Amino acid sequence: MSTTSIRLIEPSDGPALAELLSRDKQAYARWLPARPAEFYTPAGQASAIESLLAAHDEGLAWPGVVVSDGTAIGQVGISSILRGPFQKGFLGYWVSSLHQGHGHTSHAVGLALRIAEDELNLHRLEAHTQLENLASQSILRKHGFRSWGIAHDHFYADGAWRDEVFWERTLAGRPAS
């Protein structure tokens, strides 16, 4: 049985993530935004990681990788962090198609919830799923997220505007800072 963990993304993750993203580009076209060809290269991932870490340094994000048995197999992150009266962030995640169906994504989401609450001191997390993404919806429900609405034509992917379900989860009650 493999172990799953998450950790803050590192510049050295670029080549592994580029390989996973490149391999799954067609499989995930329905779910992810179109990107330039450079995004799927180690150099493109190095640039993306640099931007993610800059957002982390500014307190705007917690960008992580999903790791199984020491190997990066996907990403999990909390972005768009708002402080003040909101204390919330946006949860996003993906795991390579080769590693799906083994509980890695669900475990990574559970670990990200702990980081959101214990390290980032957030009060709320939000997420979106496309209407047809039943696997992701199941993971969010398992971790206490509730759907609160549908945004029509909300996300453009694979040549079409997609409807998305909005999800929310309140974490421990924390005073606004």
Q: Is residue 48 part of a domain?
A: yes
- In this structure, which amino acid lies at residue 120? L
Please write the tens of the pLDDT for every residue from 103-157: 999 999 999 999 999 999 999 999 999 999 999 999 999 999 999 999 999 999 8
In a domain, 55, yes or no: yes
Asked if the structure places residue 137 within a domain, the reply is no
Q: What pLDDT digit, counting tens, does each position of 53-104 carry?
A: 999 999 999 999 999 999 999 999 999 999 999 999 999 999 998 888 889 9
> Is 175 inside a domain boundary?
no
- Confidence check: pLDDT of 52 > 50: yes
Q: Three-class SS string for 23-49?
A: HCCCCCCCCCCCCCHHHHCHHHHHHHH
* Structural domain count, the chain: 1
pLDDT for 173 equals: 62
Looking at the domain assignment, is residue 16 inside a domain?
Answer: yes
Range of the domain at 76: 4-126
In the prediction, which pLDDT does 1 show?
Answer: 47
In a domain, 155, yes or no: no
Q: What is the pLDDT of residues 1-49, one digit of tens each?
A: 468 999 999 999 999 999 999 999 988 888 888 899 999 999 999 999 9
CATH number, position 101: 3.40.630.30
- Residue 172 forms part of a structural domain: no
